[in-house]
Structure formats: structure tokens, C-alpha cells
Chains A and B, each alone.
Chain A
Amino acid sequence: MPNKRDNILVNIDWTTIIVYLILVFLGWINIYSAVYDENHSSIFDFSQRYGKQLVWIGAALILIFIVLIVDSKFYSAFAFPFYGIGILLLILVLFLGIEVNTSKSWFEIGSFRMQPVEFTKITICLALAQYLSSLSFSWQKTKSIIVLILLIALPILLIFIQNDTGSALVFFAFVFVLFREGLNRVLFITSFALIALFILALVTNLEILVITILVAGVIGFALTNGRNLQTQIIFYSFLLYASVSLVLLNYTDIFLDKEIVLILINVGVIAIQMLIIYFVKRNKTLLLFGLLIIGVSTFVFSVDYLFYNALQPHQQNRINEVLGKNTDPLGIGYNVNQSKIAIGSGGFTGKGFLQGTQTKYNFVPEQSTDFIFCTIGEEWGFIGTTTVLFLFMFLIVRIIVLSERQRSKFSRIYGYGVASILFFHVAVNISMTIGLAPVIGIPLPFFSYGGSSLWAFTILLFIFVKLDADRLQIFR
């Protein structure tokens, strides 16, 4: 009788696998719908993207098999060599790669193209897990911190050089991993605020700003688990602030200047919070935290207000030009607008499979890759988007829960890494199709057309599935 501990079929997490298979299948039929061509109506037509995607899916299944039969110790043992190979590929692509959509991040071998950055997500994840779980690592050691920063910063730097900003931003998601593994709260908040501000710098959308503040409020609450009075006060004032602002932004036009209203609310909230915190408990950290977030947003609102109200149109244009903002309605703004129209036109039940008019007639750019979510929205409606959204949420939360049951620190950290990367991709990709995030061009995992992306996410996920299946073997 085989040892229960060693039987992979018993210990493997079938839930994750089923969710994975559903997502991949949904991705495939949506690619079919997005690039549907009447002259090649068979979904198995290999000259079309949907046919090719099926080939990639087939290959992915083989990859899963390979990943699962490899001994799990292999992944930790070879984490650093893999990391080295990954970095090497990133350097090589700078010299040997070809340029697609202004970013030089593709290798071309024959008619096949491969994006090494997709695979470095795995290698960095492994290396991070390996390093953080090593006995020599300590948050107290300066050397450890420096190595850690180098470990993450090096690939980010190389990807920035490739001019693939979107992919580079993905690695900031590791801040969740670091936070879980003991990163100082303030540092975590700072990192998070950095991501938020970086994204904010790319757009001037008040709605996004308010949502960011809401998120910051929730994080603040989550950090302290809402145990004491002042955190609760902060939390509720955040919620109040954000919801009032959202209502004002979305449903009223009676105010002359939304910016002014928001600034007034900001000032009001600061004053109230300062008073409450000062009288209840003199907690300087929380006070500073609240001041920081609200101060920054007030500043941004003011800049916006000054920009649109104090400057002449030609001055605005000049600044926009310098900032590289495209005022052409057919530029980036046009894409997002078309994307929103597509998703919005789907309504509750959608237009039906293959019935989309926005995504089918090329109104939405990159409809089979970065904007695949539009097809889901248009053809399957709110039901479809909700399903996909919650499948992803379920998968990510599932990975976090599974990570927490790992006895091995390596497995846990790796799991968090997978969850972070998936989370960043899904949240940002969907957000950009509905105008909540700037268009930074990153794929929707398992959905977007493309071999590199599908294989990379598959390997990323199934290494964790393998590690989880072997969780009972204590190998460290």
C-alpha cells in the first residue's frame, strides 16, 4: 500500500486544477469569439488564433504533467540557477530580441515568438521564496535587505530598459509576499502608496484617486485588525469620505467644481481625525499615516484643479505634450472608451456568444490579448464578468489559504508570490478595460491569447500545486 503522504493524486488540490481548467477553457472560447472569422468558422482551425491557442493549451497540459512529476525539491534547489538564467535571458533579449509595440522584449525563433519576461516571473518567484526561506535571511541584517532589494530590483530594471513598463510593474506585487514575511508595516504602506502614486501619475481620474484612498483606508484598518478605537474612527471616516466622494463624482453635477468639493471634504476629514486622535489617544504613527494619505490626495486634487482652471488651454496643451498625454480621442483614451462601451453594452446577460458587435468589428484594440475581458463583458454580460471575476478571486484566495497550510516556508512564500502575481495581473488588466487603471498592457492570466503568457502562468501555478501536493513531506 502506497504511502498516503506520497500519493500525489490524493494530496493534489483538485479545486485549483478545476478552476484553472475552467479559466483556460473560457479563455479559449472567448478568443474564438473575439477574432471570429466567418471564413474560418471552425474553432479547430489552426491558421487562426483560436486554433493556435488550442495548441498552446495542449502544450500547457504537457507542461503541467512535467511540472508535476519533477521532484518538488528540484524547484528549491535550482531556484538560484533558474534566477540566473532568467536574468541572462532578460539581458540577451536586449541584444537579440525584436521590438513589438515599442517594447524590445521578444525572442523570435522561426515563426514563434517568446517573451522571456513571462518566465522570469517564475524564476524570480522561486528565487525570492528560496532566499526569504533561507536561514541566513533576517529582516534585521542590512546585508539581507540589500540582497533582497537587488534580487527584485535587477529584473525590474532590465524590464524597464526593454521599455515594457507594464510587466515591470508586476514585480511590485511582491510587496504582498514581503509583507506576509514580516516586512515593516510602514514600509509596506509606503510601497503600496508608491504603486498607487505611480499609477496615479499616469492618469488624472478622480474616481481612481478616491478608490485608492478607499483602499488605503481598508489597508489601514486591516493592518491593525481594527482592534482599537482610533483605527475604527479612521476606518469609518475613510469609508465615509470615499463613499461621499464617489457619490459626488458619479451622481451629481450640481457642484461647480468637483475638485473644490473634494478638497473641502479632505480638509474637513483631516481636521476631524486630528481632533479625535489627539483627544482619544495621542498616536503619532496613525496620525502621520492619515495625514500622509489625505495630504497627498489634497495635493493631487489641487494640482488638477489648478491645471484645469488656472491655466489657459494652450498652456494645458503644452504641458500635456510634455507629459506625453495624448489628447487625440483615437489614442489611449479612445481605446478605453471603446472598451467601456463594449463591456457596458453587454448589459446583464450579454449579447450572446459570437454576437458581440464592438469586439468583433475591431472597435476594441488588442481584443484577443490585453482586452479579452471586453469580449466576456459584451457577449456574456454582467453574469459573465461576475463569474470570471469571482473565479479569479476564488483562485487567488484559495492559493493564499493553501499557502498558509504549508509546513515549508519555501512553499508558503512561493504560494504568496503566485497569488501576488496573479492578483496584480487580474486586477490591473480588468481595471484597465473598465477605465479604473491606466492601460499598461499586461495580459489577463489564462485568457489572453499567446503561448508565452499561458505557459508561464501554467508553470507558475502548477509548481505551487506540486509543492502543495508534497506539503506533507517536510523537506526543510
Chain B
Amino acid sequence: MKNDDKRKYAIIGIVVVLFLIIWIKLFNLQILDISLKISSDNNSQRRVTVYPSRGLIYDRNGVLLVSNEAAYDLMLIPKNMREFDTLAFCNDIGITKENFYERLKTCQEYSSYRPSLFYKQITATQFAILQEKMYKYPGFFVQNRTLRRYQEGIAAHILGDVGEVDLETLKSDPYYSGGDYAGKSGVEQYYEKELRGKKGIKIYLVDVYSNIKDSYMDGKYDTLAEPGKDLTLTIDVELQRYGEYLMQNKVGSIVAIEPSSGEILSLISSPVYDPQLLVGRERGKNYDSLLNEPTKPLINRAISSTYPPGSIFKLAVSIVGLQEGVLKPYTAYPCDKSIVGCHGHPPANSVIRAIQYSCNPYYYYVFRSLIQRGIEKSIFRDSRIGLDLWKQKIVALGFERAYDIGIPGVNVGQVPGSDFYDKLYGKHRWAFSTIYSLGIGQGELLISPLQMANFCAIIANRGFYYNPHIIKEIDHKTVQDKNTQKIFTPFDKKHFEVVVEGMDKVVNEEFGTGFYARIDDIRVCGKTGTAENPHGDDHSIFVAFAPKDQPKIAIAVYIENAGFGGVWAAPIAKLMIEKYIKDSISDPRLEKRIVEANLLNMTPEDAE
């Protein structure tokens, strides 16, 4: 067949064409298609985040408050799982077989070839057991993590907590990736950027089973993790602990400030809880149960709750009255109980005595002279002008101010002005008679314990203050910022001296309302307060500073539903001052009485 000889060309043609097709495809794959090179990099490189250790937190004396603790998450790549002794495995980590399959399902649903969290935070003991047997359980591996350790078990409201970042943070801050942890409240949240440090990255070459084979380019592109900065707080751990101890079975707050620096020595919100409760496996459960407690322990009352200040506000009214000239140190007013209720006391013939006896009618008159200045004929118009002039001065004493103390959640409170009452009653439809109770710290005033304490610090300093703050050092270095700048109030020092004299007598003289705060060898100046509470028993309030000269501590104690300020708040303030200045308690029986007192009266809202 002659013709067949030519068929060799056909055959060679087919061979050549097929090879050319393969060749073109190879050209396409190897030269044109860039995506494959990128896939190859992702395929074989594993970027492992190296988590930095979070900054430690110390108290003002260098006592460690918060440290880190290793935790171990048991991870699983379902695809790499091989047959193994399920029962032994379940025993090792202490779960039932049903639970095992449940968890396995969750992991598989997430991804069969990416690592997913199988069991969160196994204990060190479990880890020790597992570590030796890990080879028997292919597909599983343990990932290290650090958890917070709140050493002292106190100051939960100051320190705050750390939890998994939420979706919003994830979107707004590119630093975080899913599953990362960040501060959720307190100092942990406020100083998150300082505490978190900087994540590092390690690039490994991995095989198809995600087993690490080698480090990529000998670690040339790896970056080191930078540990977070340590914080030193202004808190005195002993004072804080003592305050929390005293406040047991009471609802309220104590705020103590060092007047000469604005450093917050303690910030107690009661009821307290152990900050360690919000760490680890039980976090969610504990959080829920704290959330559902009727006493709301999660609220930081010291900065977030605001109350009518009661009689302690008379100090502010005095200062404003003296500064405005409507009040002279020796102005006398009769104790006319028909105007406003009062208790039996000798006549208040000076500002000092008025403070000492906490005379309500006296301050009715002082406040009236502040509000009704006689600028306008109409008492409505006149009151309106008077109130705004008054508010302008009052606010200068730190009320209705959001102090940036280094903990989120500061409540500004409320000092009502004309616009407030206009809204409430209508313009020119209210006058002094409508608002007179402001003069004795009642009515629509809302002041936080922090504001009360700092107000007291202003008096202690006779007119100036430093921004109250919780942070002393960052990375063991003092920071020069707004916290180190002295702020003056627009009041003359001499007016403060008058008020201080009154406060001295409150504690140290006969008929003083705060005699419970008296300390033999420390001159304590204070003022009691009792805020009427339409919902239940009165709130017991006491502000004080000591010693009278060169004060070391200014303190505000606010106890909800505890009745007269002199009875509960004053002795607590006394014990705190004594503890801080002398580090010893002169009257153990008083301490015992306070500690044993249970003032957890249910408020009507809670009883509902």
C-alpha cells in the first residue's frame, strides 16, 4: 500500500501538535498565570502570629496587681485526624464522648482543613498529660496563649477585664484579627494600646498536613513581638483592699485622692467581685451571673453612678456665696424650720457654724441670695439669671465634669441650669421657690462620688487641683501630661479657709455632725451628707480630707440607703484615713461594727 507510507506524516503531525498544545499550556501556567505563584506561597508558608506578653500592672508601691499566665488551647485540624483512642482522649481532657462528637462537629463545620478551637484553655495539668500523648492524637495540637492573672483579687472596677475582640473593634482597628484579646473595661481597656504591645510574625514552611517543616528564609522576614508596656497605677493596694473589706455588704463607693497630685489612692465600688472571675473558661458564665445580680456589681459606681450630694453640697454653695459676695464669713441666718426641715443645734451665726451644724434654713437663705440677685424685677427672670450665674461657678468646682481619669465610663452627672428648668416647667414658669432644694444638695443635682472626692481635694488644696488620675507610670516612667498640671479654680483662697474651718468643726467640735470621723492625732476635716432618696432609705455621705494642714488624702464615701451620713459614711472615711496615714486602726470595735454591718437594703426597683 503505497499510500500508507504518507501516513507517517499524519502520525508525526499528531505527535507534534499534541506536544505543542501541552507546551502552550505550560507556557500559560508557568509564564502567564501569576495567581499560581501566589497560591504557592500561601500554600507552603504559614504565618504564625507571635503574641506579645501583655503589660503588667503594679500599684503605686510596686505591688504586682496583674500578671500573665500561660494557657493552652487545644486546636484541631479535622482533615488531619486519623483513627485514635477516643475514649482515652476524652478521659485526658475530661469530656464525655457525646461532647467530643459535638465539638468535633463544630470544628468540621468551621473548616476541615484549617485549625479550629477544639477545647478552650485546658489546664496546665491537662496540658502536661496531653503533651506526652499528643503523637497519638493526630490532627490535634496545642496553641499557647496568655491569660491575665489578677494576683490580688481586688480592684476589679479599676483594672477591668480582657476578652475576645468584638466585630466592631475588628473592623475599626487593623491591629486585631479574629480571636484576639483586648481590654474590655477599666484600665485594661483604657490603656489597651500601651498594654497590648506589638504582635510579631514568624513565617514557617509547612507541608500539606500543616506540619511545620522549617522556618522561611531562615527567619529573615520574621518580626519579633514587642511586649506590652507595664503600667504603674496610683492605687495603694492596701488601702484599696481595706476599703473593699469595709464596704462588704454595703452598696456604694469610696474614692480617695491625694490632693497634692490628683492621684487616685483607691476607687472602690461596692459590691465588688473577684476580677479573676472574668478570666478563662468560666468567663461567660460568670459574666452573666454578675450581670444578673440585683446589686449590679459590674457597675463602677464610683465613676458611673451619680447621686444627689446632700449636705456636702453646702460646702460648694458656701464657696460660691463667699466668692460672689452674697455671703460674708459672719453672715447669720435664723434656723427657721418652717422653711425647710432641720435638726436641733445652736444658732448658726457664721458660715463656719452653718457648716458645722449643717443648717438647712441657713443655706436656704444663702442659695436664695445667690439666685435672686435683684437684677430683674420679675422673680422668674431674676431666678433664671441667678441660676445660670450660680451654675457657672458651681461647675468650676468640678461638678458636671467628665474627669479623664484613665478608666472609661466616667459619668458627667448633672448641675441643672436655666435651660434644664425651662424644659421641665417652661420658660419663666419657675423661680427660686421651685429650685431652692438645690441649695442643700437635693433636687435635680447628680454628682458622682469621684466628683465629690475631687471637690474635697480642691478644698483641701484651698482652691486648686490636679486632674484626678489612675496612672502613675507607663513603662516605669512618669508621663508629663495633663495630669501633672495644676488647675486653679476661680475662687479666692480665703473662702476655702472659711470652709475648711467649718469642716474642721464638723469633725472635731461639739455639735459637729461628723464626730464619728474624729481621729485623736490627725486633724480630719469633713462634711456629712444625707441625700433624700425618694425610692428608699436615705443615702449616707461623707467627704473629708486630712490632715488639715498639708493634706495627704481627700476622700468621699457614699453609701446607698444607709441613712444619716454621720453614722456610716463618716466612720468609714475615718478608718480609711487612719489606714492610709497611720497604717493602723485605733478603734478596732468601730472597724468591727462597720465590717459586720449589712446595709443591703433592697431598693424598691429591685424588689419589684
Contacts and interface: CB of A to CB of B under 8 A. Distances in A.
B40 interface: yes
Given A215-B14, A363-B207, A434-B22, A348 B30 contact: yes
Contacts of B607: none
Contact of A219 (B8, B10, B30, B35): B10
A330 B113 contact: yes
Contacts of B6: 225
A436 to B, nearest CB: 6
A436 B21 contact: yes
Given A180-B4, A180-B8, A404-B8, A393 B33 contact: no
B27 interface: yes
A215 B10 CA distance: 12
A344 B37 contact: yes
A97 interface: no
13 contacts: A180-B4, A180-B11, A222-B10, A223-B10, A250-B28, A341-B40, A344-B39, A345-B39, A361-B205, A385-B30, A404-B8, A419-B11, A423-B15
A340 B4 contact: no
Interface residues of A, number: 51
B21 A215 contact: yes
Interface in A349-407: 357-358, 361-363, 377, 381-382, 385-386, 389-390, 392-393, 396-397, 400, 404
Interface string A203-232: 000000001001100110011010000000
Nearest to B14: A219
B40 A225 contact: no
Contacts, number: 139
Contacts of B209: 362
Given A361-B206, A361-B207, A389 B22 contact: yes
Contact of B15 (A250, A340, A393): A393
Contacts of A423: 15, 18
Interface string B34-64: 0111011101110000000000000000000
Interface of A: 176, 179-182, 211, 214-215, 218-219, 222-223, 225, 250, 330, 338, 340-348, 357-358, 361-363, 377, 381-382, 385-386, 389-390, 392-393, 396-397, 400, 404, 416, 419, 423, 427, 430-431, 434, 436
Contacts of B112: 330
Contacts of B205: 357, 361
B79 A434 contact: no
B1 interface: yes
B19 A393 contact: yes
Nearest to B23: A389
B43 A434 contact: no
A77 to B, nearest CB: 26
Contacts of A225: 6, 9-10
Contacts of B28: 250
Contacts of B81: none
B597 interface: no
Given A348-B31, A358-B40, A363-B43, A182 B4 contact: yes
Nearest to A223: B10
A344 B206 CA distance: 19
- Residue of A342, A345, A382, A431 with most partner-chain B CB within 10 A: A345
B346 to A, nearest CB: 91
Given A181-B4, A363-B43, A404-B5, 20 more contacts: A218-B13, A218-B14, A222-B9, A222-B14, A225-B10, A330-B113, A338-B43, A341-B43, A345-B37, A345-B41, A346-B30, A363-B44, A385-B26, A389-B19, A400-B11, A416-B11, A430-B22, A431-B25, A434-B22, A434-B25
A154 to B, nearest CB: 25
B1 A358 contact: no
Given A357-B205, A400-B11, A344 B18 contact: no
A35 B529 CA distance: 84
B12 interface: yes
Given A219-B14, A436-B21, A344 B207 contact: no
Contacts of A330: 79, 112-113
B16 A345 contact: no
A211 B7 contact: no
Nearest to A393: B19
Given A341-B36, A342-B40, A358-B43, A397 B16 contact: yes
Interface of B: 1, 4-19, 21-23, 25-31, 33, 35-37, 39-41, 43-45, 79, 112-113, 205-209, 213
A361 B23 contact: no
Contacts of B12: 397, 400
A340 B14 contact: no
A396 B25 contact: no
Contacts of B36: 340-341, 343-345
B108 to A, nearest CB: 13
A12 to B, nearest CB: 22
Contact of A434 (B9, B26, B37): B26
A289 to B, nearest CB: 15
B22 A431 contact: yes
B213 to A, nearest CB: 6
Contacts of A431: 22, 25
Contacts of A382: 26-27, 30-31
B40 A344 contact: yes
A423 B13 CA distance: 12
Contacts of B208: 338, 361-363
Given A181-B4, A404-B8, A436-B22, A343 B30 contact: yes
B203 to A, nearest CB: 12
Contacts of B35: 344
A405 to B, nearest CB: 11
B23 A386 contact: yes
A348 B37 CA distance: 11
A386 B17 contact: no
Contacts of A430: 22
Nearest to A430: B22
Contacts of A180: 4, 7-8, 11
Contacts of A179: 7, 10-11
Nearest to B35: A344
User: Which one of A344, A358, A382 has the greatest number of beta carbons of chain B within 10 Å?
Assistant: A344
B30 A347 contact: yes
A71 to B, nearest CB: 28
A342 B44 CA distance: 10
Residue from B13, B16, B18 having most chain A Cβ neighbours under 10 A:
B18
A382 B31 CA distance: 7
Contacts of B207: 361-363
A452 B39 CA distance: 35
A107 to B, nearest CB: 30
Given A358-B43, A361-B208, A397-B12, A344 B30 contact: yes
Contacts of A386: 23, 26
